[in-house]
Amino acid sequence: MSDVSEILLDGNSLTRDHVAAIARGARVQLDTTQLARVQRAADFLADKVSCGEPIYGVTTGFGSNADKLLGAHRMRDELPGGNPQPRSETLLEELQHNLVITHAVCVGEPFDAGVVRAMLGIRINTLMRGHSGIRVSTLEALAALLNRDVIPVIPQKGSVGASGDLAPLSHLAIVLLGGGEAFFGGERMAGARALERAGLAPIKLSFKEGLALNNGTTQMLATAALALERLGDLLDTADLAASMTLDAFAGRSGALREEVHALRPHPGQVGTARHVRDLLDGSTLVDIAYHLVPRFRGWSADAWSDAQDQQQSFDIAWDWVPPSQRHGREAFYRRFLPFKGGKKHQPQDAYCLRCMPQVHGAVRDAYEQACRVIDIELNAVTDNPLIFPDAPDARVIEEQVISAGHFHGMPLALAMSYVKAAIPVLASISERRLNKLVDPATNDGLPAFLIGNEDATDSGFMIVQYTAAALVNDLATRAHPASVYSVPTSANAEDHVSMGANEARHVLDMTEDLAHVLALELYTAAQALDYRQDMLNAARRLAQRGDWRALAAKIANAPDTTHPARKQFETEVQALAKSLAEAADFHAGAAVRAAHAKVRERIAFMARDRAMDGDVRVACDIVREGILPTRRHDDR
């Protein structure tokens, strides 16, 4: 999405892209038509209060205090000694004020400004629906807080996800009252000071306004929406990393074919296979004939005679398969030349490559389900009670001010539980591909740990896999769903809660570690791809010089000149030379090449061990910045 400087909030059309734009700094404007509906509900509520109607959260207490009706005056004024803290506002105003100041009890590090801005935008939008009883002036004050970039300090922990996100939203609302703390101009300060510096004045709450401000699913929704924005990018990054790895393996494309996935048409699976096919388009590595692929052999001084090839830091090799070992495999060797290099003679890749559409696709489906839930929630009314001033044929107040349960976060919590379980799956398959790249037993002829190691002093990419493994384990241990473990609150008046705030916060945090795992795979795959392309193209150049004997010198298990099979060996080596010489340049798919070039702009190929901490930081930055072309025709 392109950057947007201002978002019109009308209660009905807020999108995840809008939330992301608000988080990044977009201002908001309030739709005037909807403001009329907002004021209609506030006026209706004021009228009913003046008539003495009992209304939950307006003329009664909250939660387990709902059975307590507010009186006409303060009983505590009659306590012995009188009221030591006389109040100027009415009991109804005091009720709303106290609701906010006593509920702001979260702990932990504060949310970043982007999350708080998203919360403000979402809260304003839901109040714009005109079913919450808030006054236009209060809603405009909330919008001014956002537009002047006054960022309430909201510690991250304290919501149980029903009744909504009471505690964190109270930290948000308390700044409107001149309390709490806020960031302004990058500085943390008292809320009253932040308002003053922003040219704003504190407000006094009217009927139900405290409840309208702090009763809703706003924290969990903001963190969920921002987590999904990040995850959507990472899903494409995961496909790109897997595509680069598949190219580095010179893997097989059959498992990606359209007709294959038509037989099991899960949307995410079909989409992933299509995406990876697109990323690999133009590759001359995928589906390469087995016999063309040499395996890595350690460099030696006499490995190459040509000046260009002498710049290589490796040698290459094949094994010849003698006729005596071809029995029962004649059909195979009629199709492929009898040379074993880097590729094993098998028609399928390991699961981490072959089952990429099924695994990545399942994660995509979890993401899409969560997006569906979040998109509904962004324009939902989630406080309580709900006000219907224009309800037809209403006979009693309870038919126009209805206590319901829209504050319950379970729809969001379960959607985030699904995503929470999916994130370690995506990280795990990425780590398995990374591990396969560095393990000489599984990397199809690439050097061990992707380094030459001529003097046995180099570790190469060995420990990169350790870090990925640690991250995967950490993600897996955090994947337990919070939503299955309700802890009742409010003296059991709120006897089942969603824990959706924890769920969404966890998911937002987990996307960062997922990004790191994918960055490590890309970093490693870029090294592997360099080796694969360079080894194949070195073999191709050798063959193009026309001296098949130079190629034969790279082949082990060759019969000596007196052996009966020598002539057959020479004929087959000449056929290998011809195949290599006629081959086009060996390279990855167009999108993979573009991504590889982006990596190489900032991280050089590692021919010898060097400090890798800087490389890893840059790889993580590349993924975080979203600069990789994850679509073939992506022009970012």
β-strand pairing of 339-340 with 315-320: antiparallel
Main-chain dihedrals φ then ψ at residue 525, nearest 5 degrees: -65, -35
Closest C-alpha among 3, 15, 11, 12 to residue 118: 15
CB burial string 405-424: b at 16+ within 10 A, e below: ebbbbbbbbbbbbbbbebbb
Half-sphere exposure of 9 (CA within 13 A, CB side): 33
Residue 120 tokens, joined: 């403000």
Distance, in Å, from the CA atom of 218 to the CA atom of 239, rounded to the nearest integer, reads 32
Set 56, 290, 523, 531: catalytic member: 56
Closest C-alpha among 278, 280, 279, 258 to residue 269: 258
Closest C-alpha among 199, 178, 200, 203 to residue 189: 178
Beta bridge partners of 28: 7
Residue 570 tokens, joined: 């020479």
Distance, in Å, from the CA atom of 28 to the CA atom of 25, rounded to the nearest integer, reads 10
Beta bridge partners of 8: 29
Distance, in Å, from the CA atom of 342 to the CA atom of 291, rounded to the nearest integer, reads 8
16-24 helix and 218-248 helix, angle to the nearest 10 degrees: 100
Distance (Å) of CA 614 to CA 595, 610, 619: 19, 10, 9
- Reply yes or no: is the peptide bond before residue 243 cis, omega within 30 of 0: no
Closest C-alpha among 615, 627, 588, 457 to residue 524: 615
Q: In one letter, which amino acid is 256?
A: L
CB burial string 247-267: b at 16+ within 10 A, e below: bbbbbbeebbeeeebeeeeee
| Whether 56 is catalytic | yes
- Check the CA dihedral 242-248-254-258 and report its sign: positive
Distance, in Å, from the CA atom of 551 to the CA atom of 574, rounded to the nearest integer, reads 9
- Which are the contacts of 525, defined by CB distance < 8 A and separation ≥ 6? 241, 244, 245, 248, 433, 434, 437
Cα distance between the two ends of the chain: 11
Distance, in Å, from the CA atom of 391 to the CA atom of 269, rounded to the nearest integer, reads 46
DSSP category for residue 306: S
| In contact, 278 and 313? CB cutoff 8 Å | no
Closest C-alpha among 614, 598, 297, 539 to residue 606: 614
Active-site positions?
A: 56
